Every structure is written in C-alpha cells, then in structure tokens.
Amino acid sequence: MSDLYARIPTSARKTVPTARGFKSTGIEAEVCSWEGKIVSKIEWKEWMEEDGTMTHKFIFEVRMEPHHGHGDSLLLATGVVGDKDTARAPFTFEYGEAVNY
C-alpha cells in the first residue's frame, strides 16, 4: 500500500491523473508556466520534536523555481504534513517584493 498519493483534479484532461509514493521514494509534483514553476514535495525525514527527541515525519516543501530558464528560486514553505504549528514561510511580500525573514 502506498504511503503517499498525488492527483491533479483540475486540468485540460478528462480524467484525473494520479501518482503514488512511498516513504522510500517521497513524491514530488511540478506545476509549470513559461514564467516559472512551483514544486511541491513530501519526504519521510528525521524530525526533532520540541523535547529534543528525534523521530521520522512526512516533511513538505514548496518552492518557486525557474522553468526553461525563466523565473526565480525561492523557498515558499516547509513543515510537517498535517501539523500547522510546524509550517514555516520564510518570507512575506511587501509591495510586490519577497522579503526573507
């Protein structure tokens, strides 16, 4: 049985394409335009709990990346899947520009 599952519910296709992933492989999806792309991935990684103990969790990462030489690279968000308190967006937008924090 798969640990991860991806689907594309909205596209020009008449069917909804899907993909499966496992703890050993993770899963990654790219949504592209000619101005750049957004890459989302989930991986099974070590994670330090608040008490300092190490465990494994599904970690997500969302990035903006170039596509065919167009666009910028920027980490948009990261955290533990299903845990809003771990989600981090390392920047905010002020007047149309990304500001890292």
Domain range list for the chain: 24-100
Give the number of residues written for the chain: 101
Which segments within the chain are labelled E, that is strand?
A: 4-7, 18-21, 27-33, 36-48, 54-65, 74-80, 91-94, 97-100
Instruction: Render each residue's pLDDT in the chain as its tens digit; 101 residues.
Output: 999 999 999 999 999 999 999 999 999 999 999 999 999 999 999 998 889 999 999 999 999 999 999 999 999 999 999 999 999 987 665 555 555 44
